[in-house]
Amino acid sequence: MTNGNSRGRAFAAALAIYAAAIFFTAMRARPPAPKPANAPADEFSAMRAKAVLRQFLGNGVPHPVGSAANAAVREAIVAQFTKIGYQPRVEESFACNETGRCAEVENIVAQLDGREAAPAVMVAAHYDSVPAGPGASDDGAGIVSELEIARALKASPRLQHAVIFLADEGEEAGLLGATAFVENDPQAKDVRAVVNMDNRGTSGAATMFETGSANEWAIRLYARAVARPNTNSLSYTVYKSLPNDTDFTVFKHAGYQGLNFAFIGGVAHYHTPLDDVANASAASMQSEGQDGLEAARALANSDLNFGAPAEAVYADFFGWKTIWWPARWTVGLAGLAFALLLLEIGLLFRRGRMRAKEFALGLAAWPLILILGAILGAGLEFFLRVAGALAANWAAHPLPMLIAAWALGFGAVAAVSVWLGRRAGCWGLWSGIWAWWGMVALALGILAPGLSFVLVFAALAAGIFGLAIAAPKRAGSAGAIAGIVPAAAAAAVGISPIWFLYPALGGAFLTGIVVCVALIATPLAPLAGAVSGAKRWAFPTTAFAVAIVATAAALFVAPFSKASPEGMNIEYVQDASTGRSQWLIYANARQLPLRLRSMLPFARTQKRTFPWDARRPFAAAAPALNLPAPMMTVRQAAAAPGESNYDVLLKSARGAPVIALAFGPDEHPRSVMINGQAVPEISKRLLGYTRGWRIYEDADAPAQGIEMKFTMPSAKPASAILVDESYGLPPQGMMLRAARPKTSTPFQSGDVTVIRREVTFRPQ
């Protein structure tokens, strides 16, 4: 490709470009500084927003759906809307979703009139928290950002379209507030597009990770409106395949378009007591709120004519600009890149710069790099798990393991480059590597355009700048251009998606991170393979040395800390049918600390306490407290040809807020109604997680109980399990709470007391 010392200089330049791309990506991952409370009225100020957050949630009390604490938060939100000049209303509804969960919810709705009454744009966030934590970031930050956006838009010139502000309840219980809005609220029919803000952490820059079906329309608007973009179609495509939902899922199903924002740093605080005001990042609020304000303003001044659903392929360029194209162009662009690459490979053969054997070895290099990366990544992940450094999905100090993963990715490229460099030659490696990029780009363009951005962009750069091959045979600078510029293109758009893999997916994807780094670094192979002499060993030696040192460092840092704790829940479970009571401990690290093990003879459960739960907690016998079991009153049981119809009242005798009725895989109730609300058929996706069990639950059951009507497809008796659940442990469990390590914390529902009993339905 080049001669003499110029080969080393070209490789050094390419490495410097990758280092710069990593540096700028790291800088871009930092949110902007929060604007002060005296910022101009039409701008978003995170300091104003955080002051409101402190008023709402400064007491650090969890406020799940239906709780008195949530009612207090609701009143505070209404008062704040009123203070900034709105006339909010509270809409009460009973809502159920396709998971079988129901609750009474109270949504807050306010409106800023536009020059046109309809259609309208909506800004949405939810105000309830999980039972384990106060939800200052999830989604208190979204709520106060919504209020700050409402204030800023009111201080701005009048918008074309009305903006509806929705603060909904029951998102954590199953998107129930959003469901109630789209099904029952009179203004739901006016909404065409929504800006949703929800968070899965307490820090980091906000990312726009999801749109509606009119993705191309949304990205065109986003690229024009948002000054600090953070998005890519790879993440969006992957997210659509994950079993993750926010309120935006409900809005999409209702036909709304729009943009979904979140920040995901500090994930160890998510759904725990550490999701408090102290850990809520004002900078992250500035990032999300500023993007939300810019998006809402742009949507409200657009024509909201998004046409037929269409996808885009896109990514931001270091937070400076969004690069995108319509997905329908992808096959053409990839085909052009591949055609140019084939032309250039032909020129190399014609000019005698490459032989068939060299090209074949170059073709072998790309899969060898990825296979080696997968082996090294799997070995790293296995070793860290066995050694206890990766005890849970997110570690307290992940930097050493991530350095090791990135170093191994580059090391895989280095090892194959040195091994094949002399035999394949620089042009053999160049041709083989970029032939694969072109082929895979074309395949993804056909099968999954959203995943293709990095490959198409870099392959196009290789195809265009590879035309330097047509230069005179000894033009060393032309060869350097063909090697360096496409590598720079790959680094510029490929580093950022990999950077966010760990915050998004955790250590479970550590092997994937190594493979992705190896993939994005494959353009270095021709340049590394061209280096001659002793210097050629510097790249692989350095990469593997860094990986070894970083792996060793990962063994000397604690997997958990007070600031980044392990999730650990304690439950008291009483089986009223058998009289047996147990303490259960669910530990994310799947190990019990010595102090807890020494208190009681805890052991892994062999028989599931709840047949729908695949987890295996630690269990120990608990004292029989004889707490009153949940009650079921059969008000009607009528047999009909081939079926039985039931009307029952379910009630917690001890006033537990959660009550559920679970039917086994062989029982299939139909036409289920709870408190007069039809419950959708439970989704097949959920049944896969619950081992076929259908669980119908009220997340804020009133003291008088809930009415449930359903039909069984048989006149035979049917059985079910009736459960009630309250937050917190009985006094006898305080010793276990006190023994829980300071480096662990309750999460999700937190510590709970559960009573279950088996019930039978018999038609009369």
> What is the distance between the alpha carbons of residues 393 and 312, in angstroms, rounded to a whole number?
32
DSSP state of 530: H
Q: 175, 150, 438: which is closest to 292 by C-alpha?
A: 150
396-427 burial: b if 16+ Cβ within 10 Å, else e = bbbebbbbbbbbbbbbbbbbbbbbbbeebbbb
pLDDT value at position 243? Answer: 82
What values do phi and psi take at 256, rounded to 5? -75, 150
pLDDT value at position 5? Answer: 58
Residue with tokens 């439970």: 682
> What are the CA-CA distances from residue 108 to residues 111, 146, 177, 178, 472 (Å)?
10, 12, 10, 11, 71
In the chain, the domains with their CATH numbers are 5-28+340-555 (no CATH), 46-305+312-325 (3.40.630.10), 567-764 (no CATH)
Facing residues of 677 across strands? 674
Contact 65, 699 (CB under 8 A): yes
Contact 231, 160 (CB under 8 A): no
pLDDT value at position 552? Answer: 97
pLDDT value at position 476? Answer: 58
Phi-psi region of 370 (alpha: psi -120 to 50; beta: other; left: phi over 0): alpha
pLDDT value at position 1? Answer: 52
pLDDT value at position 307? Answer: 84
Q: Could you tell me whether strands 752-761 and 658-663 are parallel, antiparallel, or unpaired per DSSP bridges? A: unpaired
> What is the distance between the alpha carbons of residues 326 and 312, in angstroms, rounded to a whole number?
4
Contact 48, 39 (CB under 8 A): yes
- 3-state secondary structure at position 79: helix
Q: Chunked in runs of 10, what are the mean pLDDT values of the chain (764 residues)?
A: 63 93 92 97 98 96 97 98 98 95 98 94 98 97 98 97 98 97 96 97 96 96 96 92 91 97 96 97 98 98 91 94 96 97 93 92 97 98 95 94 98 95 91 97 96 96 87 62 92 94 93 98 91 80 97 95 96 95 94 91 86 92 95 91 92 96 94 95 89 96 95 89 97 95 96 96 84
> What is the distance between the alpha carbons of residues 761 and 722, in angstroms, rounded to a whole number?
12
Q: 416, 457, 459: which is closest to 439 by C-alpha?
A: 459
- H/E segment holding residue 183: helix 176-184
Contact 146, 197 (CB under 8 A): yes
- Token pair, residue 96, equals 């159920």
Tell me the DSSP string of 5-64: HHHHHHHHHHHHHHHHHHHHHHHHTSPPPPPPTTS-TTS--HHHHHHHHHHHHTT-----
pLDDT value at position 551? Answer: 97
pLDDT value at position 468? Answer: 81
- 3-state secondary structure at position 668: coil
Q: pTM of the full predicted structure?
A: 0.94
Strands (E), 318-387: 321-326
